[in-house]
């Protein structure tokens, strides 16, 4: 894998509770800056749909709102990071989520001659997160994200991006599971904020504003830190 990695390729991390807007913002950054969004949630959902051994093991944990084992998550992420399209730089969306994942990421990046560039913590109230998660749906064809209240397609029932007319909701977006996911976030992921702060990597962005306002805050952080995609 080390031969395929571009050591100058930036690694951005988006931290935040469920519904903070990690996926929404990662997709916008991908379009604006040319980084590649790597969402461990999307990878796990793909594994569940494909009924791979990792997907079969992850399915019930995800449905209950818990965290999938570090071993499974790390194995799928390593495979994904070894692909050529990550050479320009990546946005890690939903990873790392535990101290063990953060340590493994450091080890992997060090091996590749890379390091974490900037870690953005998206700050959002718990009650807002439940509203965001409960109203979320995505285009079944291209995955573009929408919300019943905050982000509707321009033409009702038609995806703005690809024109698709089928949409889907995640099975873990119930109020009950969202509560469990939030608990897992506070217990296991939120401590990473202090970890990256101590390393001088952390920037907090207020994620309570509109999608465009949050995107503008993120772009400012990226410009200030001088992070840019590599050719």
Catalytic residue among 27, 45, 59, 97: 97
- Of positions 35, 105, 118, 136, contacts ligand AP5 by CB under 6 A: 136
Select the span of 82-90, 102-110, 139-147, 222-230 touching ligand AP5 (CB under 6 A). 139-147
Give the largest Cα separation in the chain, rounded.
48
Catalytic residue among 45, 80, 132, 136: 136
Q: Does 22 bind ligand AP5 (CB under 6 A)?
A: yes
Question: 181 catalytic, yes or no?
Answer: yes
Task: Locate 115 and state its tokens.
Answer: 């390091």
Size of the site for ligand AP5 (CB under 6 A): 38
> What is the β-pairing status of strands 145-147 and 136-139?
antiparallel
Binding mask 26-65 for ligand AP5 (x = CB under 6 A): -------------xxx--x----------------xx--x
Select the span of 2-10, 30-38, 108-116, 129-137 touching ligand AP5 (CB under 6 A). 129-137
Task: Locate 229 and state its tokens.
Answer: 């995609």
Instruction: Show which residues are catalytic.
Output: 22, 97, 136, 170, 181
Contact residues toward ligand AP5 (CB under 6 A) are: 16, 18-24, 39-41, 44, 61-62, 65-68, 73, 94-95, 97, 101, 132-133, 135-136, 145-147, 150-151, 181, 207, 209-211, 214
């Amino acid at each position: 894998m080390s031969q395929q990695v571009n050591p100058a390729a930036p690694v951005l991390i988006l931290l935040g509770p469920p519904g903070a807007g990690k996926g929404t913002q990662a997709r916008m950054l991908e379009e604006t800056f040319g980084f590649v969004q790597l969402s461990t949630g999307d990878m796990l959902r793909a594994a569940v749909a494909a009924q791979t051994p990792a997907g079969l093991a992850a399915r019930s944990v995800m449905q209950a709102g818990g965290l999938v084992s570090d071993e499974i998550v790390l194995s799928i992420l390593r495979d994904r990071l070894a692909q050529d399209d990550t050479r320009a730089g990546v946005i890690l969306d939903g990873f790392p989520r535990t101290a063990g994942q953060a340590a493994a990421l450091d080890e992997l990046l060090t091996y590749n001659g890379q390091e974490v560039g900037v870690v953005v913590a998206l700050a959002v109230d718990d009650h807002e997160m439940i509203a965001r998660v409960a109203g979320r749906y995505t285009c079944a064809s291209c995955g573009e994200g929408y919300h019943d209240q905050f982000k509707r397609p321009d033409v009702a029932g038609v995806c703005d991006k690809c024109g698709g007319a089928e949409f889907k909701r995640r099975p873990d977006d119930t109020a009950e599971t969202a509560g469990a996911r939030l608990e897992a976030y506070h217990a296991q992921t939120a401590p990473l904020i202090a970890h990256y702060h101590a390393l001088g990597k952390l920037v907090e962005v207020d994620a309570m504003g509109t999608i465009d306002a949050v995107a503008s805050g993120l772009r400012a952080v990226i410009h200030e830190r001088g992070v840019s995609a590599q050719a």
